[in-house]
Amino acid sequence: METNFFPLTQRRLRTGSQIRELTASVKLSYKSFIQPLFVDEAIDSPRKIDGLNGVEADTIDSLLYRIEQDARNGVNKFLLFPVPARKKESDFDFSFAQKALTRIKQSFGNDVWIAADVCLCSYTTHGHCGILNEDHSRLLNSRSVEVLSHYAATLANAGADCIAPSDMMDGRIGAIRSKLDALGFEEVSIMSYAAKFSSQFYGPFRDACHSSPNTNGLQNRKTYQVSPFNSNDAIASALRDEREGADILMVKPATLYTDIISRLNQQTLKPIAAYHVSGEYAGVEALAEKGLLDREAAHIEVWASLQRSGADIIISYASRHAKDWINNVVI
Ligand code: PBG
């Protein structure tokens, strides 16, 4: 017999998958997941997105087919990113987004819950999330908020269940909430991109939406997105959005900012959504392709980390696999 110099203290609860399952403090459910969708006016068949395996930009018709497939796999909550064919500096045409939403709601009604992204970055020639002044050196906050509120109302009118403003202008949540209420859309909720950082990890997304800043004026989003070096600003922005009427507060990117999720969770009673963004997702996928990690297990580990930090809702490009993967995982 082995002499027991070191009695087991923690390892007894790790001895097999059943006891690990029983004692887990995090239990994932596919019901907490939102699947992002891209719909592009300029294409006539689905387009692959570099870095985002298993995700494509759709036409309206292929989008309806994709939602039907997803619904079969237990996904009924979506975040929609419309990409218009024509980009402008102002007087944007929101009719394609409106049409996409209308078609989704005509086909699926309340079987699906649709949050519509509200931002101008895929609408503007310069790729910024709001309207710029003439020489592109500054972002015009008030004019941008007016246009964004109008866009939000258009989307609510087309049937969006939730408005998800990702532009990061000041005052937009209050403006959008008043506009929605005034028009009778009191039940349309707002999921605010509340703590959205100025991050490198949006690369594949910007490719998908053709929305990288491209002007000799403002060359990045640092004057409106939160600095990765400033956690107080992230918390203040989120709490401000809560006061202005946001129903759900989002932290984005997710895995690099679990400290923010955890801190915000201590300061709000609102549900917190964590967005595992395109670059974070693409990183996991790239390692998996090289055989350096197990794809499913890695995504599940990411999701567990988000829930552990205090996220109630997870936005992942792999949400459409959540039910299957969570069901089969051996922890
Ligand atoms: C638009 C927007 C971005 C994302 C969601 N909405 C990109 C950005 O701010 O440049 C990123 C999502 C992702 O990377 O998955 N403002």
Query: Tell me: the pLDDT tens digits for 153-195?
Result: 999 999 999 999 999 999 999 999 999 999 999 999 999 999 9
Q: What is the mean pLDDT of residues 107-116?
A: 98
pLDDT band at 210 (very low <50, low <70, confident <90, very high): confident
CB of 123 closer than 6 angstroms to any ligand 1 atom: no
Q: What is the full DSSP assignment across 10-78? A: SGGGGSSHHHHHHH-S----GGGEEEEEEEETT-SS-EE-TT-TT-EEE-HHHHHHHHHHHHHTT--EE
Q: What is the pTM of this model?
A: 0.97
CB of 199 closer than 6 angstroms to any ligand 1 atom: no
Residues forming beta bridges with residue 118, ordered by sequence position: 165
The alpha helices in 140-171, defined as continuous H runs, are 141-157
| Amino acid 3: pLDDT | 77
Q: Is 270 designated active site? A: no
Please state, in angstroms and as integers, the Cα–Cα distance from residue 32 to each residue in 27, 118, 181, following that order.
11, 22, 27
Domains of the chain: 29-328 (3.20.20.70)
Q: How far apart are CA 188 and CA 181, in angstroms?
A: 9
Helix (H, G, I), strand (E, B) or coil at 126: coil
| Amino acid 289: pLDDT | 97
Which atom of ligand 1 lies nearest, measured to the CA of 276? 15
Q: Is 48 designated active site? A: no
Query: What percentage of the chain exceeds 90 in pLDDT?
Result: 95
- Express each pLDDT in 230-268 by its tens digit: 999 999 999 999 999 999 999 999 999 999 999 999 999
| Amino acid 1: pLDDT | 65
What is the CB neighbour count within 10 angstroms for residue 9?
7
Catalytic residue among 196, 222, 270, 290: 196
Q: How far is CA 331 from the centre of its chain?
A: 27
| Amino acid 310: pLDDT | 98
Question: Which residues does 94 contact at the CB level (< 8 Å), separation at least 6?
Answer: 84, 151, 154, 155
- Express each pLDDT in 31-66 by its tens digit: 999 999 999 999 999 999 999 999 999 999 999 999
Q: What is the mean pLDDT of residues 218-224?
A: 92
- Express each pLDDT in 270-302 by its tens digit: 999 999 999 999 999 999 999 999 999 999 999
Answer whether residue 94 shows pLDDT above 90.
yes
Q: Which secondary structure element, helix H or strand E, spans residue 300, and what is its range? A: helix 295-309
